[in-house]
Amino acid sequence: MARCTRCGRELDSDDIGAYLKFCDRNATSYLCIGCFCQDLQCPESYLRERIEFLRRHGCALFPKKQSSQ
Ligand SMILES: [Zn+2]
């Protein structure tokens, strides 16, 4: 699994999807949502909400999660 290029945290599909969606569609290395939000100067909760919105609308970058929450 890929890791954040800044803090080294292991990335999940949401981290990678968010980076592709909101930063660079052609990226091959990524930031985790925490580091990405620091760059965007927005709260992490805001980005999480955007991700859930896109997931509900079937965005291919954010596949439905297997685990129930
Ligand atoms: Zn990071």
Q: What is the pLDDT along the chain (69 residues), one digit of tens a residue?
A: 799 999 999 999 999 999 999 999 999 999 999 999 999 999 999 999 999 999 999 999 998 876 655
Cα 35 to ligand 1 centre (Å): 4
Cα 6 to ligand 1 centre (Å): 5
| Contacting residues for 59 by C-beta, under 8 A, at least 6 apart | 17, 21
Cβ distance 58 to 31 under 8 Å? no
pLDDT of 65:
75
Cα distances (Å, whole numbers) of residue 66 to 13, 26, 30, 59: 12, 26, 23, 16
pLDDT of 1:
79
pLDDT of 64:
84
Cα 66 to ligand 1 centre (Å): 24
pLDDT of 52:
97
Cα 24 to ligand 1 centre (Å): 16
Cα 16 to ligand 1 centre (Å): 11
